[in-house]
Structure 1
Amino acid sequence: MSVELDVFVGNTTIMDKEVYQLWLNGYTVNDAVKVRMEGGVMEECEASAEVLLSDTMDQFRTFQMCERLLQNPAKLANQLLFQIPPDRQAMLIERYYAFADAFVREVLGKKLSKGTKKDLDDVSAKTGITLKSCRRQFDNFKRVFKVVEELKGPLVENIRQHFLLPDQLARDYAAIVFFANNRFETGKKKLQYLTFQDFAFCAGQLINNWTVGAVDNMVEDMDVDLDKEFLQDLKDLKILIADKDLLDQHKSLVCVALRGKTKVFNEMETNFKNLSRGLVNIAAKLTNPKDVRDFFIDLVEKFIEPCKSDRWTATDVNLYLTHYTNSAHILDSFKYQTVWTRYMGVIKSCILRMYHE
Structure 2
Amino acid sequence: MDGGVLDECEANADVLLSDTMDQYRTFQMCERLLHSPAKLANQLLFQIPPHRQAMLIERYYAFDDAFIREILGKKLSKGTKKDLDDISTKTGVTLKSCRRQFDNFKRVFKVVEELKGPLVENIRQHFLLSDKLARDYAAIVFFANNRFETGKKKLQYLTFQDFAFCAGQLINNWTVGAFDNMVEDMDVDLDKEFLQELKELKVLITDKDLLDQHKSLVCTALRGKAKAFTEMEANFKNLSRNLVNIATKLTNTKDVRDFFIDLVEKVIVKLQ
* Equivalent position of 1:293 in the other structure: 257
Provide the alpha-carbon RMSD of the alignment: 2.6
Matched, 1:44 2:8: no
Identity %: 80
* Equivalent position of 1:233 in the other structure: 197
CA offset digits 1:273-323 (Å, max 9, x no partner)? 321111101110111111111111111111111111xxxxxxxxxxxxxxx
Matched, 1:143 2:107: yes
**Matched residues in 2 for 1:152 and 1:140: separation?**
21
CA offset digits 1:20-77 (Å, max 9, x no partner)? xxxxxxxxxxxxxxxxx6xx46x32245554443333221111111100011111111
CA offset digits 1:214-271 (Å, max 9, x no partner)? 110011100000010000000010121134x34663487479969x989x99865663
Check the 8 A contact 1:247/1:273 in 2, yes or no. no
Distance 1:246 1:78, change over 3 A: same
Check the 8 A contact 1:255/1:269 in 2, yes or no. no
Check the 8 A contact 1:153/1:219 in 2, yes or no. yes
Which residue identity lines up with residue 69 of structure 2 in the other structure? R
The two structures have a TM-score, normalised by structure 1, of 0.69
* Equivalent position of 1:8 in the other structure: none
Check the 8 A contact 1:251/1:273 in 2, yes or no. no
**Matched residues in 2 for 1:241 and 1:208: separation?**
27
Which residue identity lines up with residue 6 of structure 2 in the other structure? C
Check the 8 A contact 2:73/2:148 in 1, yes or no. yes
CA offset digits 1:141-188 (Å, max 9, x no partner)? 000000001211110110010001111111111000000000111111
Bigger shift: residues 247-256 or 185-194: 247-256
Which residue identity lines up with residue 249 of structure 1 in the other structure? D
Which residue identity lines up with residue 237 of structure 1 in the other structure? L
Check the 8 A contact 2:204/2:214 in 1, yes or no. no
Check the 8 A contact 1:240/1:247 in 2, yes or no. yes
Matched, 1:249 2:245: no
How does 1:275-314 map onto structure 2 within 5 Å?
275-308=239-272
Match of 1:58 among 17, 22, 41: 22
**Matched residues in 1 for 2:58 and 2:125: separation?**
13
Check the 8 A contact 2:205/2:240 in 1, yes or no. yes
Check the 8 A contact 1:105/1:196 in 2, yes or no. yes
* Equivalent position of 2:96 in the other structure: 132
Q: How many residues are matched?
A: 267
- Secondary structure of the corresponding residue to residue 77 of structure 1: helix
**Matched residues in 1 for 2:55 and 2:267: separation?**
43
**Matched residues in 1 for 2:168 and 2:262: separation?**
19
- Stretches of structure 1 that go unaligned for 5 or more consecutive residues are 1-36, 309-357
- Secondary structure of the corresponding residue to residue 213 of structure 1: helix
Match of 1:95 among 59, 62, 65: 59
**Matched residues in 1 for 2:215 and 2:116: separation?**
46
Matched, 1:177 2:138: no
- Stretches of structure 2 that go unaligned for 5 or more consecutive residues are none
The two structures have a TM-score, normalised by structure 2, of 0.90
- Secondary structure of the corresponding residue to residue 168 of structure 2: helix
